[in-house]
Structure 1
């Protein structure tokens, strides 16, 4: 059950929202000021926050800023009587997902909340397939394919290839690769990047005859998955 934190100083609106969301199957927490909102967010870890801007001890902007700076990942929806474009822009710039103007229709707020929760759920799903041009990497079985050609990879090889595919045709420095894949593992140096790039080059060598990608060394800048072969692009 998803918990929604309602931050609203108007007790009537707060109660109406709580009743409506509970009727739709949500668990609800409430707060009427900045301090209570931040305490509830910390202690209850809500899945979403519905947030007024005008609060007795500060601004909903302060709540939104604090939550995002603290790494809060859930949807934040502003609910405010302020309807100027600059108010909406400021709220969204602080990291809010939506801005709903009072007076509002509960069904619209509910629909927007559910949409943002669904989007977050989908974005939290781990990737299983990575593509770059016609190159396809299945992270579940650690297999890369191009047409009928396939190659099986080790876990670390598949992580490295996924990184290069995400930055296809752009150089990625040794340092960035090392930080993403080997940071915190003692006893290793940047040379481990060169070793694994060598492994990948060997496994991708059969793809070259199909116009497949090559991993090139860009002097002074790192490594790049080059997808610019005519056959591979088309």
Structure 2
């Protein structure tokens, strides 16, 4: 049984989500305000957070940052009426792993929740240590180092880099990355993938020397983590 935090101030939506998710075997804590959400987060851990961005007492993006800081390994899915691409990108960069635009079908949300909970399992073998030049991805420890210095990555950023590292030097399609890192039956925008690739690039580049192996964009196909041997 997974523990989910629902942060939603709309009584109708919150009731529907809570009732529906409980009916599918999940333990639910429903909070209507950012203050209540942070009190819940500080009291216990959650496997996944469904976060409405339109809250009355605090901007949802700022709350997303605070939840991410408190629960670095927890999946956060934004629920937003803001369909504009920039709003989605800002939310993802604040620490969200995924988003759904209102109105959405409960079946779609349930599929996303199930997918993210399944993806909590590591992609490579649990004891794998992937070395690409000065970059080392230790799957068991969920640790990435560059030149011996640890790189701080969020949950999906680590999964994405690990997936690219498995096939370092080889092109990996967008469809494969979405299936392996998010869900085999993903439907909807792949903007999530692009934002996460950009975030991984920034975090690696911020380490300074040595230079990280680049992640090359293959337009119309996907991405490739370059291998020094390649």
C-alpha distance in structure 2 between counterparts of 1:44 and 1:4, whole Å:
11
Instruction: Note the alpha carbon deviations across 1:189-223, whole angstroms, 9 max, x for none.
Output: xxxxxxxxxxxxxxxxxxxxxxxxxxxxxxxx99x
Specify whether residues 131 and 67 from structure 1 end up closer, same or farther in structure 2 by C-alpha distance, changes over 3 A only: closer
Tell me which residue corresponds to 2:126.
Answer: 127
Specify whether residues 128 and 112 from structure 1 end up closer, same or farther in structure 2 by C-alpha distance, changes over 3 A only: same
**Secondary structure of 1:46's aligned partner:** coil
Tell me which residue corresponds to 1:118.
Answer: 118
Q: Deviation at 1:29?
A: 0.4
Do the aligned residues in 2 keep the contact of 1:74 with 1:120 (CA within 8 Å)? Answer: no
Tell me which residue corresponds to 1:45.
Answer: 45
Q: Deviation at 1:131?
A: 5.4
Tell me which residue corresponds to 1:107.
Answer: 107
**Secondary structure of 1:109's aligned partner:** helix
Q: Deviation at 1:121?
A: 2.8
Q: Note if 1:8 corresponds to 2:11.
A: no
- Structure 2 length-normalised TM: 0.56
Superposition pairs of residues 7-26 of structure 1, within 5 angstroms: 7-26=7-26
Residue ranges of structure 1 left out of the alignment (5+ in a row): 134-138, 140-158, 180-220, 223-232
C-alpha distance in structure 1 between counterparts of 2:64 and 2:125, whole Å:
27
Do the aligned residues in 1 keep the contact of 2:41 with 2:70 (CA within 8 Å)? Answer: no
Tell me which residue corresponds to 1:89.
Answer: 89
**Secondary structure of 2:110's aligned partner:** helix
Superposition pairs of residues 208-223 of structure 1, within 5 angstroms: none
Q: Deviation at 1:18?
A: 0.5
C-alpha distance in structure 2 between counterparts of 1:56 and 1:89, whole Å:
22
Question: Which structure has more RCO (C-alpha within 8 Å, separation ≥ 6)?
Answer: 2
Tell me which residue corresponds to 1:229.
Answer: none
Mark the structure with the bigger radius of gyration: 1
Q: Deviation at 1:71?
A: 4.2
Superposition pairs of residues 23-38 of structure 1, within 5 angstroms: 23-38=23-38
Which consecutive segments of 4 or more residues in structure 1 shift more than 4 A?
Answer: none
Do the aligned residues in 2 keep the contact of 1:34 with 1:62 (CA within 8 Å)? Answer: no
- Structure 1 length-normalised TM: 0.55
The structure whose residues are more often helix, as a share, is 1
C-alpha distance in structure 2 between counterparts of 1:16 and 1:103, whole Å:
13
